[in-house]
Amino acid sequence: MIGTLVNVGAIVIGALIGLPLKRGLPKKLSDSVMKGLGLCTLFIGITGILEGKKTLVLIVSMVIGAILGGLADLDGKLNRGAKWLERKLTKKSADDSEDKKSTFAQGFVTATLLFCVGAMAIVGSLQSGLTGNNETLFTKSILDCVAAIIFTSTFGFGVVFAVVPVFVYQGSITLLAHWVSPFLSNSVIAEMTAVGSLLIIGLAMNMLGITKIKVMNYIPAVFLPIVLCMFM
């Protein structure tokens, strides 16, 4: 678990560095940074989706994932939880607009996907659990720390709470490495990365103001390739 703990610590450090930057950014400059960050996120999503080779797995995963997430109302529950948590952590002021409040949940979802989606999170956790080699997770920690600085300076404190799913996700793979490794072949990891990267593209389009996709409702799709790759 050392690799995962270091990764979590790096994200917290990056977020703490980035938080004061957000407070010092004028609104116009903050909007410009948001759009630039949206373009960078779009690039990350496009490069990641090219990992996948099975288009049918991607399509079926998205359809079934959307149904499962929609029925569970994951997006609604996340936003309600984020608003409750934000009220507990911050003082409510007269100029708190709905858009301002929404960045808390948006920061959490965006950071969670970026930190969890990809081969480094899965392969690094497997290596840590099977051989005790944390090199991949240490490298990921550096990248995540830098990303946390940038995303916290744009979205605010919501990014910090991405450490919870990172800890649970990577920690579970590490602890269960001997049992889950047969199901996480290179092909499965590639398809999971492709599906997750498609969701990152959706996040980027939201950040650019093009769409208002409820990305959280599609989260179950990320894990469906584990099952679908057995049959497709």
CA distance 124 to 72: 30
Q: For residue range 73-99, what is the model confidence (pLDDT) as tens digits? A: 888 888 787 777 767 766 554 444 445
Q: For residue range 13-65, what is the model confidence (pLDDT) as tens digits? A: 999 998 888 766 677 777 787 788 888 888 888 988 888 889 999 999 999 99
pLDDT of residue 89: 67
Question: Domain locations in the chain?
Answer: 2-228
Please report, for residues 78, 116, 140, 143, 184, the alpha-carbon distance to residue 7 in angstroms, rounded to integers and kept in the order given. Answer: 23, 11, 7, 9, 21
pLDDT of residue 91: 58
How many other CB atoms are found less than 10 A from the CB of residue 112? 22
